Structure formats: structure tokens, C-alpha cells
Amino acid sequence: MKSLLGLDFTSEMLGIPLAVALLLVAVLLLPRSARIRARQGAVSLGLSILCGGLRLLFPKDLVISRALLFAATFFLLASMGRSVVLIALDVVVERHSARTTPRIFRDLSTGVIYLVVGLVALRAIDVEPGSILTTSALLTAVVGLAMQDTLGNLVSGLALQMQRPFDVGDWIEVGSGEQAGRVTEVTWRATTVMTLDHVEVILPNANLAKAAIRNYSRPSPISRRRIVVGVSYAAPPHDVHAALVAAAREVPGVLVNPPPSSRNRAFADSAVEYELFFFIDDFGIAARVDGAVRDRVYYALARAGIEIPYPTRTVHAPPPPDAAALRREETARFSKAIAALDLAQPLPEDARQFLAERAHLRIYGPGEAIVRQGEASDELFIIESGAVSVEIRHETPALPPQIAAALPVLASAPSPGPSASPAAPSLPGRVHEVAELGAGQCFGEMGLLTGERRAATVRAKKICRLVVVDHESFHGVLAAHPEVVERMGLLLASRQAALDAAATTRVAAPAPEERSRRFISQIREFFKLV
């Protein structure tokens, strides 16, 4: 037996080369990034050689010689065992498996190897391991009771790794949502999670084995989110569903497929509760996407005139504001904004005041589309505050700079030739921003006066407050003042002529008189003034 364990000079001369050979095989077969794991085996081999050399300095019957013999044998066999574990787990197993070997299996395998090596090394100095285990039964029981929590974590960690409910890198939620984050490490005692607050939390494996675990990365990273909102009982459910789904559809991070949806959740004390469902594919941005969806829901419900009511249990309320005074102040602002427009200059003062009294305010959040290219619209938008971008989708790389500089009114400019067909045109290609409009500017006058489809998409770049004048209000003005139709036709013709002068692709443009007559005819036909 001793000759097999490397206890005499000859067997030591055979055991050390075998350990060196195993270490070299492990280093050569391991990936370059994992070769550092062989350092432990190399250190053990060096300690074995050192202890073997020191043993030669003492007589064999001394205690120190027996201790050095035990150490030399232990480190030699430990080096061999460590190399075998590396070859088995890092080379054989991982090359035939899509997943990396869990760290707990590495640690447990190494621990078992060291335990077996220690028992064998005891035989090298004529100590029977069975006698030690028999005489230490009471000590083993005491240690077992003292380490029952640690052993519980060890067993739970093994169970988790065998079942594999999650891997390193997965997003998980433990229990009722107390801890949610990305798994960064799984050891024999605990699992480390980096939460959404970028705080590292260490969860004992025994607690994880008892808790409900939600995995947001497997089998698919797609997960459903929900937002609960309460609206007034006066709002029709169909309008609420449409507003909620439209609000969530364009939020960055919300998936197009599966599409957002909503449902009536409950009839509460002060509101009808609706649930808005949408899907994301990155749990790490879930909180940010939830907040963005809530913002869009607020703007969408406000534009649709749907109230988010206060709780009805409020007993003391401040006195209501003077609605008439607020409306007069708002009308004065609208009147000032309308009077500053070139389009409104042909109108008398009473007509501008009539439009201001019937105008209304709309608020759009950053990134929301106000009008879309190809859509029909008969409203004029005046920017009270904020900024918008004018975007065109086309197949050419970009517009000439002369055209881009002349595009403040392109959002409502008609295409050359006859009016657009009832069906919205197909718009493939890339989107280019051709202009930016700010406070005091307007867009949509061509659609308001002639009914032309939108030639561009206008999107809010900041929070925008827009004064909106609709077709019916302007119809009342033109019906009372038909003489201004000719002046508005001349104004539209001059603006179109400016665009044609900047566009180098047009071969020939109609004469100013012909263009003016065409616009006057379109205005009269659209407002039924013929």
C-alpha cells in the first residue's frame, strides 16, 4: 500500500511526475480564461515537493518526519485530485453542455477530493481513519447540530443547482417582490442578486428553496406588465380602451407584438378601474417603461377629455376656481396667438375673437406624434409653448437644403397636382427631420383650408401646448366673411410659390394667378361656399 501512495523514494519519484503530467494536461486542455484555476494544483504540488525535501533532513522515527510525510502525501494527492476535477468539469462536462458548471459543484467536488485525500494520507503514517471517526462520534454530533443552518444551505444549494430554476445572469423576483434583480453568483451557501437599485443582496439558499421564484429571463425574456388607472364613470369604456392602448403603443421599450391591451378591472368607489397590459423584453428597464407608460396615459386621457377623478371620500375641498375668469384668460391668450399669424391677417378683429373663443388647448408629451404623414386632418395647430419636429418618410436619402429651409409650413402643404385620394398612401423608406417649429409658429393651415392630407409627420420634441382651431369654427368665420377667401387664396399661393422656388426638382410651376384661383376654388369647395 505504501508503495502505491508514494511513501518511499521510488514511489515518490513516480508520483511527482504523474502529478506534473496531470497538471500539464489540465493547463493545456483548459480554455485560456480558465487556466488560472490550475494554480491551486500547482501550489499543492510545490508544497508536496517542499515537504518531501524537508523530510530528508530528519530521522524517520521523529514526529516531525511523520508530519512532513503526511503533508507531502496529502499535497501530492491533492494536486492530482485537483487536476482530475478540472479535466472532468471544465473540459469534459462543459464541452458537452450548453451551460457552465455551477460553482457549488466545483467547491463540493474539491471538498470531497480533499476529504478522501486526507483519509488516505492518514494511512500513510499508519493511522487508521476508522478509529478516528469512531472516537469522534460525539464531536461529530455536536458539530452537526451547530452547523445545521449551514448544512441546510448546502443541501438547498445542491437542490437548486440540480433543478436549475435560474442561472447566473437571469432576472428573478423572490417571494412577493421583496427582492428582484439579476443573479450574479451562486455558491454553496447563498445566492447573490444585484437589485434594480444596484444594491447587492445575498440570499441564503435555504430561504430560496422555500420561496416562490419568478424568472423573467427563462424560458423567454418577454414578460407582461400592467398599469392600473381609475377614470370617471362618465367616460365610455370604448373610448377609455382606445386611449390606453394608443398611449402604450408608442412608448420606447413596449413591444409591438404581443400588442398592448386593456380591460375593465373593477367598479371602485370613486372611479372605474382599468388595467393596461403591455409586454417588454428587458426586465432591467421595467420600472422606467412603467413610468413612461403612466406619463403617456395621463396625456392621452387629458386630450380625450377623460377625467382621472379624486377619491370621493374627500370631505373638505378648496373653493372651486372661477371658471369664467379662467376661460376669459385662456381666450385672451388664444386671441393673441391667432392675431400673430399671417393666416389671420385678412380676418377682421371680430372673426379672430370668434376663433379664439372656440379654440381649445391640447398638450402633447415628448416623442408623441401630433399629426402623421398621409392622414386626413382639418385642424390648425398654433404652438403656444414647446417645440415640434417635422418629419418626412421618403425613399430618397434627404431633401435639398433649400427645401428643408422653406419647410415651416410643410406639415400641411399639398402635393403637386390633384388632391390626394381617400386612401392613405403607402410610405416606405426612411424618416428624415426636415424642420423644427417653435413657439408662435403654426402648422396644418393647408389641411384646415383645403382638406389636403398631411404631407409630413409632426412630432413633439418637448412638452407642447398647442392651440387648436377646427374646421367648423373656421367655417363660421368664412360664412360670415366670404370676402376674405380671395385674400387667403393669395396667401396660400404665395407660400406654395416659395416652396416651388426652393424645390429644384420641379420642371415648371403654374402661374401665380392660376395657383391662386386653384386655392380659392379648393377653399370654397371644402367649406361649401360655392
Q: Are 392 and 399 in contact (CB under 8 A)?
A: yes
Q: What residues does each domain of the chain span?
A: 2-135, 151-215, 223-303, 328-526
pLDDT of residue 370: 93
**Which CA distances in Å does 6 have to 57, 62, 84, 131, 135?**
18, 19, 18, 23, 28
120-141: per-residue pLDDT in tens? 777 666 666 665 555 555 555 5
Query: Would you put residue 417 in left (φ > 0), alpha (ψ -120 to 50) or beta?
Result: left
CATH assignment of 223-303, among 3.40.50.2300, 3.65.10.10, 3.30.70.100, 1.50.10.10? 3.30.70.100
Half-sphere CA count of 523, side-chain side, radius 13 A: 27
Q: Are 202 and 186 in contact (CB under 8 A)?
A: no
- What is the third-level CATH fold of 151-215? SH3 type barrels. (2.30.30)
**Which CA distances in Å does 59 have to 69, 212, 238?**
12, 63, 97
Q: 148: pLDDT confidence band, cut at 50, 70 and 90?
A: low
Structure-model confidence comparison of residues 405 and 494, the more confident one: 494
Please report which residue ranges of 6-146 form alpha helices under DSSP H. Answer: 9-29, 39-55, 63-86, 94-95, 103-124, 129-135, 137-146
pLDDT of residue 14: 64
Average pLDDT over residues 449-467: 88
Q: Are 104 and 186 in contact (CB under 8 A)?
A: yes
Q: Are 458 and 443 in contact (CB under 8 A)?
A: yes
Structure-model confidence comparison of residues 178 and 24, the more confident one: 24
Nine-digit cell at 334? 388664444
Average pLDDT over residues 52-73: 78
The contacts of residue 478 (CB under 8 Å, 6+ apart) are 484, 485, 523, 527, 529
pLDDT of residue 3: 40
Q: 44: pLDDT confidence band, cut at 50, 70 and 90?
A: confident
Helical (H) or strand (E) element with 446: helix 445-450
Angle (CA) 104 109 111, round 5°: 95
Residue-wise DSSP of 194-234: EETTS-EEEEEHHHHHHS-EEESSSS-S-EEEEEEEEE-TT
Closest CA to 77 of 114, 29, 105: 114
* Burial (CB count within 10 angstroms: exposed 0-12, middle 13-18, buried 19+), residue 518: middle
Query: Has residue 25 got a pLDDT over 90?
Result: no
The contacts of residue 415 (CB under 8 Å, 6+ apart) are 452, 455
pLDDT of residue 317: 65
Average pLDDT over residues 60-85: 79
Write down the residue that cell numbers 501530492 correspond to.
76
3-state secondary structure of 503: coil
212-260: per-residue pLDDT in tens? 888 888 888 999 999 999 999 999 999 999 999 999 998 999 999 999 9
Q: Are 306 and 260 in contact (CB under 8 A)?
A: no
Question: CA-CA distance, 449 to 519, in Å (whole number)?
Answer: 9
Average pLDDT over residues 160-171: 76
CATH no. for 328-526: 2.60.120.10
Q: Looking at the whole model, is its pTM more than 0.75?
A: no
Q: Are 445 and 476 in contact (CB under 8 A)?
A: no
3-state secondary structure of 373: coil
**Which CA distances in Å does 352 have to 98, 327, 495?**
72, 16, 21
Q: Are 375 and 452 in contact (CB under 8 A)?
A: no
Nine-digit cell at 501? 422656388
Average pLDDT over residues 502-507: 47
Helical (H) or strand (E) element with 160: helix 148-163
Q: Are 500 and 415 in contact (CB under 8 A)?
A: no
